[in-house]
Structures are given as structure tokens and as C-alpha cells.
Amino acid sequence: MTLAKLDEIGQEIFDARYAYPGEKTWAERAKVIAKVIASAEIDEDKEKIEKSFYEAIGSADFIPGGRIIYGSGRNRGHHNLLNCYVIIPEDSVDSIGKTVQDMYRISCAGGGVGFNVSKIRPKGDHIGSVHNSAPGSVSVLKMINEVGEHVRAGKNRRTALMGILNITHPDLMEFLHVKLDQGELNNFNISVAITDRFLEAVELEEDWHFTFNNKEYHTYHLVRNGESNLKIVAQDEEDAIARAENFYKKHFEDTFEVICIDDIKARDLWNIIWKNSVESGDPGIYNIDLANRYTNVSYFERLDSTNPCGEISLPSYGNCCLGNVNLSHMVLDDGSDVDWKRLARTVRTGIRFLDNVLTVNKFPTDTCKRVGERSRRIGLGVTGLHYMLIKLGIKYGSEKCLEFLDRLFTTIRDESYKQSIYLARDKSPFPEFEYKQFLNEDYAKTLPARIRMLIKRYGVRNAVMLTIPPCGTISMLHGVSSGIEPIFSAMYTRRYRHNNIWKEKLVVDPLFREYFEEDRSLECFVGAYDVAPEDHIRVQATIQKYMDSCISKTINLPATSTPEEFSQAALDYAPYLKGLTVYRAGAKEGEPLTAIPLTKENI
């Protein structure tokens, strides 16, 4: 085994975010992680398994998620090691209060939390006998956001939150407006949960009306005192006027009149979503129907939300532990091929490691523990994909790239499932496993026949196990490209906060520097904004077929991109993606990374 050595940036990140007091090297942290996570094994296996974990982690062939790196062995081992959680509040005072309380506990333990607030009655609905008094779903997000302002976990880590609202919910326009136009919900990423029916309505150019509890809501065009225009989402004209009087009356003598129903076209709503997204980075979309169809758990779980980065679809109080195969290490030294044996070994080690994390983890609430244990959900991902492609001489997003990704992720999927099957044989399947229902799930139907036969015989340890996290910080820790993203740029400036002081640094991609100094071909060093948006999407869509959970990926758009250009491409691919997020260069002030073009003068 060759121990990984951190470069200057990696060492800075390690010291600032992950090192236990007294630790100086990655090897020290890897040894602690391996020992803590191997403690889940029976006594006669502990030494052997700990050694395999240490070899994989110490070499950085396998990189655990940030919570695992930080938390292992800390506070006498009693620490939350999971990155991701979801809470779905019900439409009651008690549930909303518990949501805020549990979010605070989870965030203080270092977990990011996703919320779908679509069960909350719309703003202006009745509460019992008190008419038009409901504060609405956005009000709940504002409460959670305020609590998030006061949370710091780990080494000054801010809370990470995701807010999702269904495309059918009457509060949708307010949901978009409050984040994008009013600058609120600053601790949240936001996404709109789209449905098959909505996508059909967009294609057919149909009107779109909202629904809640089987009641229809339409958009009414009103005037106040015969002049100013208002658009109110309500159940009928009388209800629209009552809502206007409750929320928009400025003076006692103000009067309101309905002019007409003014329902929005589904296509126009789709375009509004992408206009906002291209211009500001929010919202993303979450394909809630596909996520609940293309999975293994629909017979016992409803996946209403994702975690804050979007890579895991989860039920209420669901959670996931993350770790990643470092694909940059999975290429033969001469660059002729993938080291398939090393890849398979690392995948198997990663699945066992993450399953053990669930066993030793200290969950922040009893409900999180119960939901986590019933499915034993884990999230094995990858990082360093672009570095792997560069070493193999494959251009990111090319047809050759897509063909290669099919083979690569078929291998990762199959090795993951075989290992989880063998763990089920030796330990037990996940508690909710029932082979007929499991094998009838849409994702399980895509597994090879030999793996399906093994599942029938032995069961499977983890209900779902494959995802693509963003891997931003842990990839920089080990000096590789992040997740399945292309490198940001061969050269860039990086703005970052250190001890609450903003610093700026010129960064040359380490693999680019190596290739440049060795006078090797630089043809495959395309940056994130050099890859055509459709090629970004094609990479994501190709990999999604092999993931039983979701993918965190950003579709990078050049500064000149317009919402109109992207809207149709998004519509074409939306049925095949569980989530879609875009970012246009320059959309937000103070961007942490600024690309430096590759020119003769710069090189």
C-alpha cells in the first residue's frame, strides 16, 4: 500500500476541518477511522477488516464522507457520522414544532437536512374556524432558516438545508419569490418537485392549476381600489377576495375586485423555473415521480425529499452515510486501461465499510435510528472521474466517454450489489427486505439475472447503496477532480475563508501541472464551462441508469447562456433525471472559483 500524501491545499483543509487534536497526517486519521468502523465486526474478523479499511483509506483509494472523517473516534466514539437527513413536516403544530427541534439537533450534530413542506396547508387557508389564517409552507421554511442562522457544528461548519415544494402546491409562486426576489432562506438550497403529469402538461401547452388535499386552486387576477394588480391563488372568487383582504389590505377602506381567472400555462411555469435557475442558481428540480419509481424501496417508503446536495432521495427521518471510490487511482500506471481488480476490491471494501458505519453510528434522534436501520441505506459514490478520463485519454462528454461510463458503472453497480448480498448472507438482510417485492422494483429489475438469483437466495444487506455526492471538499483534500464533474479549470483563483478571514490563491490543477511538465497531451483538460451543457446532461443521464439513488451534479452554463436556450434541453432530459441543477458563470457575487483561460501567455 502507498500512503496518500496531501498537497499544500489538502493539508490546509485537513488541519482546518478534519484533524483530531494532535493529528498531523492523513495516515493518522485513516488509522483511527479504520479501527472505529471495523469495531462493528465480530472479534475474529476485526483485525483483518480493520487492515483492509486502513489500506483503502490510507491510500485514498476509498475516501469516506466528511462526517465520517471528522467524527470517527471523536467524543469517545459517540458521534454522528452521517451527512444526510430529511424531515417531512405534517400539517400540525406539534409536527412543525418537532421538525424545528429535530432539525436543530441534527444540524448541531453536523448533518445537513432536507425538507419537503408540501403537506403544510397553503397560505390563507382556514385553520379550524379561523378563516384565511394559515401562514403557509414558506413560513415553516423561514422558521427553520432562522434556527439555521444560529447553528455551528464541527469546526465552525454552517448548517446545510434543502427546501422542496411540489409543483402542485398553491404556495409555489411565493416559494420561488421569497428566495429569489426577496433574498430570504439564505441557508437553503431550494428545488421544485416535478411530476410526470406536469411534464406532460408542459409538452401539451396546457394550463396549470394547483391542488391541495384534493381541492383545486386557481390563480385569480384582482385589482385593489380599481388600480393595482394582484394575483391570488385561491379556491374560488370569494376565497380570493378574502385572502386579499387578509394579506394585502393596507387601509380600512381598501376594496378588492376579481377581474378573471388567470391560470398560468405549464410551459410558462417551466420557463419561470429555468429563468430563475439560470439567473441565480436556484431552484433545481427534483423529479419526485421518477425518484419514487426507479428505486428499490417503493413498497415500504415514500421518497419526498432529497438531502441538501440532492444526491440522496429519502423518506421522512431517512438518512445516509457516504463514501467514495477514488477513480483517479483506478487506472493502470501506463494509462492503457482501468485497473478493474483494484476497482472491484475498493467497491467491495467501501460497501462493507459504509454498512459498518450504520452499526457504530450515534444517531441524533431515535426516529432517525429507526428509519435508518429499517433499510440500512448507504451511499457509495465516486470521485475523480474526470482525472480517470484524462489518464485514459477520453474527452469528457464525448461519445467514447458515454460508452466507457456504461462499462464503468455497470461494474460498480454489480460489485456493490454482490458485496451487499454476501453481507446479507453473513449477517442479515435489511429488516424490510421481502424478496418478491424487492425484485419487482423498477431498479432491481435492471440487475443482471445472476445477481437477482443471489438476492432471492440470500437477500441483500442494503436496500439502496449507490449515489453520486458532490465531493467538493474531500476531493480537494486529496487533490483530485470532484465527483463526476469535469475539472473547474486547468488554472483558477480560489477565494476561501480561513479563521474568518477571506484569502485568495492562484491554483494550478495538479494533474494539469504534471502533464504540462512532462510535455504530455493536454487535449482532455476541458474545464466545466468548456463542456457543452448538453454533454454535461448526457453524462448525468448515462450514470443515472446505474444509480439506485440520485446524483449531485451541476450543469455549468457559460455567462452568455439564456434561460430560453436551456429550457428546452432541460425538458428533453427531465424524464430521465431524478434531479437537475444548473449554474451560469457569474450568476452570484463572490464566487469562490474564477477560471483562468488557457492561453499561450498564461501557460
Kindly list the catalytic residues.
307, 309, 311
Q: Which amino acid is at 522?
A: L
8-state DSSP, 524:
T
Sequence-distant (6+) residues with CB within 8 A of 378 are 320, 321, 322, 323, 351, 354, 355, 357, 358, 462, 464, 465
Q: CB–CB of 217/122 below 8 Å?
A: yes
Is 83 exposed, middle or buried, given 0-12, 13-18 or 19+ CB atoms closer than 10 A?
buried
Q: Which triple of cell numbers denotes residue 336?
A: 492503457
Amino acid at 227: E
| Type of residue found at 315 | P
SS3 sequence, 200-264?
Answer: HHHHCCCEECEEECCEEEEEEEEEECCCEEEEEEECCHHHHHHHHHHHCCCCCCCCEEEEEECCE
Is the four-CA dihedral 167, 172, 263, 579 of positive or negative sign? Answer: negative
Pick the closest to residue 285 from 276, 294, 293 (CA basis): 276
Q: Report residue 523 CA to chain centroid gap.
A: 31
List Cβ<8 Å contacts ≥24 apart for 53-59: 53/349, 53/353, 54/30, 55/1, 56/346, 56/349, 56/350, 56/353, 57/30, 57/33, 58/1, 58/3, 58/4, 58/26, 58/27, 58/30, 58/31, 58/34, 59/1, 59/2, 59/3, 59/4, 59/329
| Cell digits of residue 229 | 394588480
| Residue 107 to residue 565: CA distance in whole angstroms | 38
The grid coordinates of residue 58 equal: 490510507
The 10 Å Cβ neighbour count of residue 400 is: 13
How many Å apart are CA 59 and CA 71, to the nearest integer?
A: 20
Sign for the CA dihedral angle at 442, 447, 450, 453 comes to negative
Phi, psi of 145 (to 5 degrees): -60, -40
Q: In 545-603, which ranges are continuous DSSP H helix?
A: 563-573
Length in residues, the chain:
603
